[in-house]
Structures are given as C-alpha cells and as structure tokens.
Amino acid sequence: MSLSVSGVSVRFGSFAALADVELEVAEHEVVAVLGPSGSGKSTLLRVVAGLQEPSAGRVVLDGVDVTKVPPHRRGVGLMFQDHALFTHKDVAGNIRFGNAWADVASLLSLVGLPDAGPRAVVTLSGGEQQRVALARALAPSPKLLMLDEPLGQLDRELRERLVVELRRLFVRLGTTVLAVTHDQREAFALADRVVVMAGGRIAQVGTPRDVWEQPASEFVARFLGFTNVATASVEAGTAATPWGRVAVPAAPGPHPVLVRPAGVLLSVDDPGDVTGVVEVATFAGERVEVLVRIDGAPLLEAHCPVVSAPTVGETVAVRLDPAQIVVLPRNSSE
C-alpha cells in the first residue's frame, strides 16, 4: 500500500504538534520516522492510523483520500510501544483477539516463536512478548504496518538482533512499513528511507546513507550525534574552523561545518599549527574516543585507532582531514 501525507498540520490549542508535513511512502517501502522526544513522530503515526484528526491536510492510501475514514476501515496495522498484551490469555489467544480467523501457527513461526501458542504471556521474555505483539499486528494482514517504538522497552543487544529480524521479515512479506523511533541506529538498520523530524516539521528525508553523509542542517547533524559542528569562515577554498584550517569546496563566507570525529587526526610527535590537550579518552572496542581541549574552541571529538590513540593529559597536534568535513547548508534554522 502506498501512503501520501500532504499538508498535514495538527494543533493542540496554540501549539503545533505537526506543521505542514509532506511525506510519500511507496508500496513495499520501509520508512522510519526519527526525531527527538516531542518532535511529532507519534502524532504523525496517529494521523495516518486515523486516531488523530488533522487540523489541515490529507492522508491518502493507495490513491484514496482516507482523511475522514475511521481507523478500523483504513486497512492499516498498528503496534504501539507498550505492546499491551492480555496477561490472562495465552499467546494464541492474544493473536486471535479481534482476529478470529488468524492463522496463529503461521504467524508464530513468522516471528520465530513456533511453539509459543499455548504459553502464558507472563512466562515470555520482553523480546518474546514484543514478537507476539508483532504477530498480533500482522494478524489482519495489514497492507500498511505502523510501529511506534517497536523495540522501545528492550535492552540494546536484543534490539540490535530484533531489528535485523524485523527488516528481513518486512522485506519477505513486502509490507509497507512506517516505524517511529528515537534511536538513529535502529532507524538506519530498519528502513529504506528515514524521515528526521524536528518541532513538528520534517527536517530531512533520505536513505540512511544520504542522511548520514550529508545532514541537511546543524540540527540533524547534532541529532545524529555529531558534536563537532561550528561556523567556519571560508576564504579561497579554506575554512577557518575553531579547531584549525581545512580545505573545503565552499563559496567564501560563513558556513556551518561538521568535522567527523574520524577526520580529526591527532599526533603526539609532530609539532603542528594547532595543539590541544587530551581531556577524555574512552576505550570503545574498535577505537578510542577522545575529547581534545584546544584554547578558545569547543571540545573536539576524535576517533583514534586503538594502537595509536593518545592518553589523557597528553599534548597533541591536531589536523583535520578534508575528506571528513561536511559543509552544512547555511539556512539551517533549527
């Protein structure tokens, strides 16, 4: 099922939870809506599901305007964060609830719990309960499945495993999926495209790779976890950043720039134009994450190879790798 959201706004009194949102989701596509708390993700999902009437705009499913159609007649499935299984029913009873004709055995094997039908819900682990909730959401064979923080309650290891399973399942079923998450890794792992929301508006739409490589604004860059973002003044192809000078392909003038931590090259032996002192060095398995204090500049984050990482208190020369600098659009207003 294809989805088209056009000009959708939702107002609560004078507060705009959604402001003029435009979104197209193609049939079979998996789209993740990503954004900080309160940015309007759940409200968008609720509008598409029919649980929240928009103050303006239209929701179109497979070419049909469903803006005024009640939720149960839209043919969409919903799975909420608190998956709210009935604890007094067994697993099969939960899936059958409201879906009398559901093929419980097939649904359970689909979610990897083939023998769980007679089990009491309370005896399942959190991850197993999540899968039962998913089986229940899939029971009416929705053509559009919407998930609100589908893995929200689970610990990280389980989330990472389940997100891969979910992705494979959606590809296999060919279901169109709109999923809300505040976790960028989860969105990237799950979706063909991600939508980043900020303050009720769409800040960026693109493939995970596009969004990662070229954040559309300073807000998106920071939301993705990049902290080395500052305004640099560019002259003759060189940007003067608070952390040193680096070549950039940008017109003269002030530009917000992002310096990827992997592009911060630290050296203990070479003298350099710019020096700093290592304030924090955190071992992160495949790399060491270092924070460098340079006089008069914000703390600079560097990702260093484990074998050559400097230690706390060391003075280091700092160079910036031009290949790891991203010039952000100047009109980033958030």
Interface residues toward ligand ATP, by CB under 6 A? 12, 17, 35, 37-43, 182
Coil, strand or helix at 74: coil
Query: Which neighbouring-strand residues pair with 253?
Result: 234
Query: Which residue, 137, 140, 297, is CA-closest to 231?
Result: 297
Nearer to ligand ATP, 18 or 230 (CB): 18
Q: How far is the CB of 37 from ligand ATP (least distance, A)?
A: 3
AA identity, residue 12: F
Nearer to ligand ATP, 43 or 241 (CB): 43
Nearer to ligand ATP, 39 or 204 (CB): 39
Q: How far is the CB of 253 from ligand ATP (least distance, A)?
A: 34
Nearer to ligand ATP, 41 or 96 (CB): 41
Cβ-contact 323, 257 below 8 angstroms: no
**The two three-digit tokens of residue 108, written as one number:** 């359970």
Nearer to ligand ATP, 43 or 94 (CB): 43
Q: How far is the CB of 99 from ligand ATP (least distance, A)?
A: 27
Q: How far is the CB of 182 from ligand ATP (least distance, A)?
A: 5
Q: How far is the CB of 76 from ligand ATP (least distance, A)?
A: 17
Nearer to ligand ATP, 37 or 331 (CB): 37
Q: Which whole-number Å values give the CA distances from 113 to 125, 250, 316, in the listed order?
A: 12, 54, 54
CA 174 – CA 189 distance, rounded (Å): 17
Q: How far is the CB of 288 from ligand ATP (least distance, A)?
A: 32
Burial of 313 (0-12, 13-18, 19+ CB in 10 A): exposed
Residue 50 φ/ψ region, left for φ over 0, alpha for ψ in the -120 to 50 degree band, beta for the rest:
left
